């Protein structure tokens, strides 16, 4: 049986980044419970990093709401692993889901390393039976309709000395709010692909473009976060009610 863990929280802000940070707390707690927590990772020179998101929101929680976040791994493959997070209101109503893709970084050499073949066994998953999620290919931003820029500051940096992935959610959302009134409560679907890392002092550009989807009643937008030399750091595609 695949191991899963649920934890209860009180929502503090309207930010989706908060939900993702709380989700990471649950996944870390599960690793600790099963013997593959921070001590195990440090001993193996391993760091888990998120590489992709697929998020669907059905009934967005408000500040003060009690929610339950439940998580379980879906599969462990050679270079990536997939994990599901489910968000529920205290009355059992589904608030949303997040499918996430992860990779392992060698914390010393700072490069990708294969996932240990028996890693899934800690969670009750045999690699031969592992599922692999298929994530949507995000449309490339062609020409920005509007953009903002910012400098990476110390509070954006995590223990790996690069920008914490949840901060990119804040970057894109706060930038978008300068041009459009699309609150988190209107979010329907969000696709994210993390490409490269930004570090302290880097100048980054957050760009936005109207999406090409015409067969939907939802508001469709393409977003891209770039470094100063134009390299793509993060690709984002969003749909709003």
Model pLDDT for residues 32-53, shown as the tens digit of each residue: 999 999 999 999 999 999 999 9
Question: Same CATH fold, 146-240 and 5-129?
Answer: yes
Domain locations along the chain: 5-129, 146-240
Give the residue from 90, 14, 93, 12 showing the smallest Cα distance to 58.
Answer: 93
- Residue 158 confidence (pLDDT): 86
146-240 maps to CATH 3.10.129.10: yes
pTM: 0.93
Query: pLDDT averaged over the chain?
Result: 93
Q: Alpha-carbon distance 62 to 184, whole Å?
A: 10
Mean pLDDT on 81-86: 97
Dump pLDDT digits (tens) for 121-174: 999 998 777 888 999 999 889 999 999 999 999 999 987 788 999 999 999 999
Cα(27)–Cα(156) distance, integer angstroms: 21
Assigned CATH topology for domain 5-129:
Thiol Ester Dehydrase; Chain A (3.10.129)
The residue-averaged pLDDT of 88-100 equals: 97
H/E segment holding residue 16? helix 16-33
d(CA 31, CA 55): 22
Dig out the tokens for 172 from the structure. Answer: 């894109």
Q: Is the pLDDT of residue 215 over 70?
A: no
Q: What are phi and psi of 79, to 5 degrees?
A: -120, -15
- Confidence category of residue 110, pLDDT binned at 50, 70, 90: confident
């Amino acid at each position: 049986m695949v191991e899963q863990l649920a934890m209860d929280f009180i929502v503090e802000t309207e930010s989706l980044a908060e939900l993702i940070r709380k989700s990471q707390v649950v996944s870390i707690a599960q690793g600790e419970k099963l013997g593959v927590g921070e001590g195990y990772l440090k001993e193996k020179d391993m760091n888990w990093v998120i590489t992709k998101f697929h998020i669907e929101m059905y009934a967005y929680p408000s500040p003060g709401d009690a929610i339950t976040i439940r998580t379980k791994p879906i599969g462990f493959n050679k270079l990536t692993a997939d994990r599901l997070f489910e968000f529920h209101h205290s009355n059992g109503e589904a608030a949303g889901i997040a499918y996430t893709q992860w990779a392992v970084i060698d914390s010393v050499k700072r490069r990708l390393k294969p996932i240990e073949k028996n890693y899934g066994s800690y969670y009750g998953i045999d690699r031969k039976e592992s599922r692999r999620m298929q994530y949507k290919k995000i449309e490339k931003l062609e020409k920005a309709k509007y953009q903002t820029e910012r400098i990476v500051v110390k509070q954006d940096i995590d223990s790996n000395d690069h920008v914490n992935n949840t901060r990119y959610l804040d970057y894109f959302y706060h930038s978008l709010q300068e041009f459009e009134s699309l609150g988190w409560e209107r979010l329907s679907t969000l696709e994210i692909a993390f490409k490269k890392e930004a570090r302290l002092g880097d100048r980054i550009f957050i760009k936005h473009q109207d999406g090409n989807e015409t067969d939907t009643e939802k508001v469709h937008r393409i977003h891209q976060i770039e470094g100063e030399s134009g390299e793509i750091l993060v690709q984002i595609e969003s749909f709003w009610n």
